[in-house]
Amino acid sequence: MHRSIHVIIGAISGLFFASKLYLVPLCLIMGSIGGYIPDFDLRFGHRKSLHNLFSVLVGTISLYLLLNLFPCNLLHDNIWSLTLSFTTGWLLHIFCDSLTKRGAFIFWPFSNRAYGLRIFRSNSLASTATGFIIAFILLLAWLIYSGGLELLIKYL
C-alpha cells in the first residue's frame, strides 16, 4: 500500500480521539505520523522492525512520556487523545500491510513469522482501492460517531 494511503487512514483514525474542536488538527497530525512511522524501516528489516506490536508499545510509551515533558496545557491536558491518535494510525498501518501478499511480522522479535490475509500485492490497484475504501469507511464511521453526518444531511 502506498505511504500516502497509510497517512490518510492514520489521519482519519485520529479524528476519533478529537474530543474538542481544537484537537482536530492535532489528532489529524498525530494519526498521520502514526500511519507513516512504520515505513521508516524501509532500509532495514522492512515489515519487521516497525511493523510489530512490540514496536507499537515502545513507540506509544515513548510518545506518552515525551508529551508529559511539555509544560503546555494544551498538550498536557490531552496527552491520551494525542497518544491514542498516533497509536491507532500505527496499528492501522500494520493491519493494512497484513492484507498484502508479504504480510506483517506482528510478533517480531518474538516470532519470525509473517501474518496476514495476504490478499493482494502492496503496489497493486487492488491495494490502493482497498486503502481508499478503508479510509472512506473510517471517515463515514467518524461522521456518524461525531454527529457530523446528521448535520450534513440536515443542511443538504
Summarised one tens digit per residue, pLDDT across range 17-48 is: 998 888 999 999 999 999 999 988 777 766 77
Q: Quote the Cα angle for 56-134-155, to 5°.
A: 120
- Please state, in angstroms and as integers, the Cα–Cα distance from residue 153 to each residue in 1, 14, 40, 80, 141, following that order: 32, 23, 40, 31, 15
Task: Give the separation between CA 102 and CA 75, rounded to whole angstroms.
Answer: 38
pLDDT of 53 over the 70 cut = yes
Q: How many CB atoms lie within 10 A of CB 117?
A: 11
Q: What is the pLDDT of residue 26?
A: 94
Q: How far apart are CA 24 and CA 11, in angstroms?
A: 10
Q: d(Cα 49, Cα 71) in Å, to the nearest integer?
A: 32
Mean pLDDT of the chain: 90
pLDDT of residue 48: 79
pLDDT tens sequence across 61-84: 999 999 888 777 767 778 999 999
Kind and range of the H or E element at 97? helix 79-98
Cα 99–Cα 101–Cα 102 angle in degrees, nearest 5: 100
Q: Whole-model pTM above 0.75?
A: yes
Query: What mean pLDDT do residues 120-144 have?
Result: 93
Q: At what angle do helices 53-69 and 79-98 cross, to 10 degrees?
A: 160
Confidence (pLDDT) at 152 = 82
Residue ranges of domains in the chain: 3-155
pLDDT, position 45: 61
pLDDT at 150: 87
